[in-house]
Amino acid sequence: MINLLIMGKPGAGKGTQAKKLLDFYRLTHISTGNIYREEIKNQTKIGIEAQKYISQGDLVPDDMTNDIVNEVLKTHTYPNGFMLDGYPRTDSQADALDEILDHLGISLTAVINVDVRDEVLLHRMAGRRVCTNCGIPYHVDYNAPKTDGICDFCGSKLEQRPDDLEESVMNRLNIYNKKTKPLLDHYQRLGILIVIDGEKTSDEVFKDIVSKLGE
């Protein structure tokens, strides 16, 4: 059994690696984002309350998120282990998770941090383009269309999403560095942090993670 927490800056490829690890180790995915989306969709009491914060672009209060994670961990079984994704995001959430896991007699095997320099992420994300019609993704350097600004498949115009504008990317990275990066020190002190060079190819990053986990 293996219990993981995966971390990484916006655009670092955390989502890609999470999917590969979930499939490889046959882990149960515990994503607070997915949980809230499901609760909101079903208009549960928790979903209605969470929507008030999410619709305004605010983070759901720590206490509420901690309670949800506690409930999920204590009421589910994980034959091969689990992967936490999107939680914890703050020091207080990390402290709460430590208490939850200790109370339930569960331990984290490792915390994986997919590490990429800010300037590399800025280049990656600011260069993204997407077709306004069919949604095919491009990149001005790594996967450029044959005709600048035009989709190869349907001939529609390509656009840059608001989240990928340089100012937006820098803002997201600043928030991460301020609020989430300190968690790395927390798990470094606990001796379970594994830092992976996320600037390699996706396959190389995955091989490095599996090698470090020793599985």
First to last CA, the chain: 10
Instruction: Please pick, among 19, 20, 37, 172, the residue that the annotation labels catalytic.
Output: 172
- Cα distance between residue 118 and residue 199, in whole Å: 11
Both tokens assigned to 205: 């990053």
Q: Are 101 and 45 in contact (CB under 8 A)?
A: no
Our answer to whether residue 14 is catalytic in this structure is yes
Active site residue 117: no
How distant is the alpha carbon of residue 132 from its chain centre?
25
Q: Examine the residue annotation and report whether 124 is marked as an active-site residue of this protein.
A: no
Catalytic residue among 161, 181, 207, 212: 161
Cβ 41 vs Cβ 154: under 8 Å: no
Known catalytic residue at 189: no
DSSP 163: G
Residue 88 to residue 101: CA distance in whole angstroms: 13
- From the list 9, 124, 128, 129, the catalytic residue is 128
Q: In which region does residue 26 sit, left (phi positive, over 0), alpha (psi from -120 to 50) or beta (all else)? A: left
Catalytic residue, chosen from 9, 14, 124, 129, is 14
Active site (catalytic) residues? 14, 89, 128, 161, 172
